Amino acid sequence: MSGDAQISRLKPGRRTDIRRENERAILEAAEKVFAEAGFGGATMQLIADMAGLPKANLHYYFATKEDLYRKVVQQIFEVWLDAASSFDNAPGPVEGIGAYIDAKMDISRTHPHGSKVWASEVMHGAPVIQDYLETTLRDWTDGRIAVIQRWIDQGKMAPVNPRHLLYLLWATTQHYADFGHQIQTLNGGGPLSDKQWREAKASVKDMVLRGIGAI
Amino acid sequence: MSGDAQISRLKPGRRTDIRRENERAILEAAEKVFAEAGFGGATMQLIADMAGLPKANLHYYFATKEDLYRKVVQQIFEVWLDAASSFDNAPGPVEGIGAYIDAKMDISRTHPHGSKVWASEVMHGAPVIQDYLETTLRDWTDGRIAVIQRWIDQGKMAPVNPRHLLYLLWATTQHYADFGHQIQTLNGGGPLSDKQWREAKASVKDMVLRGIGAI
DNA sequence: TCGTTTCCTGACCGTATGGTCAAGGTGAAG
DNA sequence: CTTCACCTTGACCATACGGTCAGGAAACGA
């Protein structure tokens, strides 16, 4: 068989399955509710209903509303950081920034709720993730600024302000998630089609890469 | 004297002054509280305290929380539309889009709360201003797309997708308001200086105008 | 001065919410 | 079968919130 050691990982057991599945369902429901109603507008009852569990059960897995919210935000942050790797090991801005735009646009499409929760959290002064901003995000930002600066020094792109380039990238890519409702309304009421998403990604990449003199 | 007719306009009187001043104070406080806490997280008590009035007095001027919120959002929408005029009567994209970026960046600096309330409203599915999106905003968007297309046809800029250009403009300029806290954190904790704001505006204009082949 | 309209506000109410708890259910190990 | 740890949940509680109201104060016109 595939191994008797590491039972807790390879043969989870009913107990572990239950916990994992319930936590997953709760987090998924919470992400949606927090995104659609904001932290203050979200209710544990609504999250419970959407997860298909009694409210008291939520408090068994997550002590407080804040705890649950914190987990949701942390989860999003990890997805964001994963996408950041697109930046690395790229020979130049066309590949690096191009891949980053692709990755972030994909996240905006596949994780729109998460993006909204993040936006909401930051807009409200980042009461929960302030330390992440001051440590992880700051370090990540400094690192990418250095990469961009190197590309500039190597003559691979125009001497733009790397920091404001990053802001433009974040803003533009996340806009398709955070303001997805507005975009849908201006699109006739329905979500963007596969073709329209390709067009959006191509447009953004074209304007940005041209704007920084990389193409 | 300066005229006895139109008393209600030229000689406001104590009564009118009181109403105007109180409504102004309430709306100003409400904008800030809604921006910082979201609609669900905002409380009438907090708005009242910030406006320096007893809570019951708020309900004298604004029947419900929704009424007050609606007024705040409408007020913001008007500021936005005013800035839109920067687009008109411009001979080309350098002047038109350049002025639009300047105007929207200025609003992000002077009306950060309003921008956040708008963002929050849209992120939550625009329950209050859906009709504005479908009428005024849609019309405005179509109009500017036509202007941009004309510039493209006249060879004044590259043939980018006008719609996605607008999204990029909205996203980037509003980012400095909506994500102002994140930017401040990455700026060492303090707000951008006058010089930094000039740098930001110049960077955005440079990248965008270059990105659309206008410079 | 008097009557009328507008403005002010402390006290109050019904409801919804986050959170608690005790009692019971369930599966696995021995 | 028994034990025990883990899971489930209806009922309950204290609090906070949006909103109401009655009674009074202030402003204004005549």
Q: What number of other Cβ atoms are within 10 A of residue B36's Cβ?
A: 17
For A11-23, write each residue's pLDDT tens digit: 456 667 899 999 9
- What pLDDT is recorded for position B11? 40
Residue A4 in this model has a pLDDT that exceeds 70? no
For B116-140, write each residue's pLDDT tens digit: 999 999 999 999 999 999 999 999 9
Long-range contacts (CB closer than 8 Å, 24 or more residues apart) made by A53-61: A53/A22, A53/A25, A53/A26, A57/A22, A58/A26, A61/A19, A61/A22, A61/A23, A61/A26
Rounded Cα–Cα distance for residues A23 and A25 (Å)? 5
Residue B31 in this model has a pLDDT that exceeds 80? yes
Distances (CA, A) of A98 to A74, A92, A167, A206: 26, 10, 15, 9
For B88-121, write each residue's pLDDT tens digit: 889 999 999 999 999 999 999 999 999 999 999 9
Shortest CA gap B123–chain A (Å): 6
The reply to whether B176 touches chain A by the CB within 8 Å rule is: yes
Provide the pLDDT confidence category of residue A85 given band limits of 50, 70 and 90.
confident
Rounded Cα–Cα distance for residues B182 and B44 (Å)? 27
- What pLDDT is recorded for position A5? 29
The reply to whether A110 touches chain B by the CB within 8 Å rule is: no
Shortest CA gap A56–chain B (Å): 22
**Closest by Cβ to A210, choosing from B36, B178, B210:** B210
Among chain A residues, the shortest Cα distance to B118 is held by A179
Provide the pLDDT confidence category of residue A115 given band limits of 50, 70 and 90.
very high
**Closest by Cβ to A175, choosing from B160, B171, B176:** B171
Which token pair is A175?
A: 């806009």
The C1' atom of D20 and the CA atom of B62 lie apart, in whole Å, by: 14
On whether the CB atoms of residues A186 and B144 are closer than 8 A, the answer is: no
For B148-196, write each residue's pLDDT tens digit: 999 999 999 999 999 999 999 999 999 999 999 999 999 999 999 999 9
Long-range contacts (CB closer than 8 Å, 24 or more residues apart) made by B97-104: B97/B169, B97/B208, B97/B209, B97/B212, B97/B214, B98/B205, B98/B209, B100/B169, B101/B169, B101/B173, B101/B201, B101/B204, B101/B205, B101/B208, B102/B201, B102/B205, B104/B169, B104/B170, B104/B173, B104/B174
Provide the pLDDT confidence category of residue A7 given band limits of 50, 70 and 90.
very low
Q: What is the mean pLDDT of chain A?
A: 92
Distances (CA, A) of B16 to B9, B11, B21, B54, B63: 9, 9, 8, 19, 19
Q: What is the mean pLDDT of chain B?
A: 92
- What pLDDT is recorded for position B58? 98
Mean pLDDT of A56-60: 97
In the chain, the amino acid numbered B207 is M
On whether the CB atoms of residues B72 and B28 are closer than 8 A, the answer is: no
The C1' atom of D20 and the CA atom of A37 lie apart, in whole Å, by: 27
Is A167 in Cβ contact with B171 (below 8 Å)?
no
DSSP B214: -
Q: State pTM to two decimals.
A: 0.92
The reply to whether B201 touches chain A by the CB within 8 Å rule is: no
Of A186, A13, A87, A22, give the one whose Cα is nearest residue B122: A186
Shortest CA gap B82–chain A (Å): 19
- What pLDDT is recorded for position A124? 96
Percent over 70 (pLDDT), chain A: 93
The C1' atom of D10 and the CA atom of A56 lie apart, in whole Å, by: 9
Within residues 98-117 of protein chain A, the ones with CB less than 7 A from nucleic strand C are: none
Is A123 in Cβ contact with B41 (below 8 Å)?
no
Is the minimum distance from the CB of A64 to strand C below 7 Å? yes
